[in-house]
Amino acid sequence: RKGSVVITGASSGLGLATAKALAESGKWHVIMACRDFLKAEKAAKSVGMAKENYTIMHLDLASLESVRQFIDNFKRSGRPLDVLVCNAAVYQPTAREPSFTAEGFELSVGTNHLGHFLLSRLLLDEMKQSDYPSKRLIIVGSITGNTNTLAGNVPPKANLGDLRGLQGGLNGLNSSPMIDGADFDGAKAYKDSKVCNMLTMQEFHRRYHEDTGITFASLYPGCIATTALFREHIPLFRLLFPPFQKFVTKGFVSEEEAGKRLAQVVSDPSLTKSGVYWSWNKASASFQNQLSQEASDADKARKVWEISEKLVGLS
């Protein structure tokens, strides 16, 4: 049978390119988990995905209620879950004030980390029940959360500190909206959320890989400077960033190429190693990359996991 893969945020950028690549392979049915049904439908059509290769299901990661509703709908669909790709993200580099999810968590960490945390925890049981030979749970990471790289050293750097803001619920009332308890900084909140994504993947691996055989992986697909992720950035940045990445850092990768890379992590028989953070070299060959000290800190991963469980109501 065809594999059944859920991709969050498949209505644009990397998620859409990955959905297209998998749908075209003929080996996958793609469940596009998106907050805007009409946009997702138009996006799927615009890249020429054939109707029988995808299903759109509503998911707003900025609402835990919506995450639970999605799980119910997915279960009712009767489809198996073979691979889950946590891809959706928001990035608010120019926001002066924080905004918040339905439950009152700062929006970037609330969406990118906490929404996906609840989703992946609840879908793990679905995955366990699938008889697919190579089950995978993938959480998209980023170089920007990795302070062992040049890009990860552009200020403001990711830093989760002692997690006091996360512990306090990131609500901006009796706690800071930032994980480390500092003043709000939208660019940093995004980077922090990506560190949480990479820590969560590794904690999943430690807790569940041996028992379930599921492959847990993260990746940095390259700098896809053209996606809507940068929609909130100032116009001059949006104009100069793609050529800067193309000609100066040479880290630029097209949406199509990035989609093929993520599609490899979903289905390539050689990428089954668990607990790994994949990157690609200039010749577009995958390799197992190093994470920064903070993004590979096992003690921090456990603490983020435990606090996140409380915040999303799992413990």
Q: Active-site residues: which are they?
A: 190
39 binds ligand NDP (CB under 6 A): yes
Q: Number of helices (H) and strands (E) in the chain: give both, helices first.
A: 10, 8
Nearest to 141 by CA among 87, 100, 97: 87
Pick the binder of ligand NDP from 18, 53, 92, 111 (CB under 6 A): 111
Pick the binder of ligand NDP from 11, 92, 146, 292 (CB under 6 A): 11
Binding mask 128-147 for ligand NDP (x = CB under 6 A): ------------x-x-----
105/305 with CB nearer ligand NDP: 105
218 binds ligand NDP (CB under 6 A): no
188 binds ligand NDP (CB under 6 A): no
The three-state secondary structure class of 269 is: coil
Rounded-to-integer distance, Cα 11 and Cα 255, Å: 13
Number of residues that bind ligand NDP (CB under 6 A): 31
18 binds ligand NDP (CB under 6 A): no
C-beta of 141: minimal distance to ligand NDP in Å?
A: 7
35 binds ligand NDP (CB under 6 A): yes
62 binds ligand NDP (CB under 6 A): yes
34/201 with CB nearer ligand NDP: 34
Rounded-to-integer distance, Cα 314 and Cα 42, Å: 35
13/172 with CB nearer ligand NDP: 13
The residue to which tokens 């905004």 are assigned: 99
C-beta of 211: minimal distance to ligand NDP in Å?
A: 27
Nearest residue to ligand NDP on Cβ basis: 13
Range list of H helices, 106-185: 107-108, 116-129, 164-167
C-beta of 62: minimal distance to ligand NDP in Å?
A: 4
C-beta of 210: minimal distance to ligand NDP in Å?
A: 27
Pick the binder of ligand NDP from 5, 7, 13, 123 (CB under 6 A): 13
Task: Beginning with the edge strand found earlier in the chain, give each strand of the sheet holding 28-34 in spatial order.
Answer: 54-58, 28-34, 3-8, 83-86, 136-140, 215-219, 276-280, 286-288
Q: Which residues pair with 140 in a beta bridge?
A: 219
Rounded-to-integer distance, Cα 124 and Cα 306, Å: 17
149 binds ligand NDP (CB under 6 A): no
56 binds ligand NDP (CB under 6 A): no
4/12 with CB nearer ligand NDP: 12
Q: For residue 42, what are the CA distances in angstroms to 38, 45, 60, 70, 301?
A: 6, 5, 18, 21, 38
88 binds ligand NDP (CB under 6 A): yes
C-beta of 129: minimal distance to ligand NDP in Å?
A: 25
Q: Which residues pair with 29 in a beta bridge?
A: 4
C-beta of 157: minimal distance to ligand NDP in Å?
A: 16
- Report DSSP letters for 207-251, one per residue: HHHHHH--EEEEE---B-TTSGGGTTS-HHHHHHHHHIIIIII--
Q: How many C-beta atoms lie closer than 10 Å to residue 24's C-beta?
A: 15
Q: Which residues pair with 5 in a beta bridge?
A: 30, 83
Beta strands 276-280 and 286-288 are antiparallel
Which residues of this protein are in contact with ligand NDP, per CB under 6 A? Answer: 8-9, 11-15, 34-36, 39, 59-62, 87-90, 111, 140, 142, 194, 220-221, 223-225, 227-229
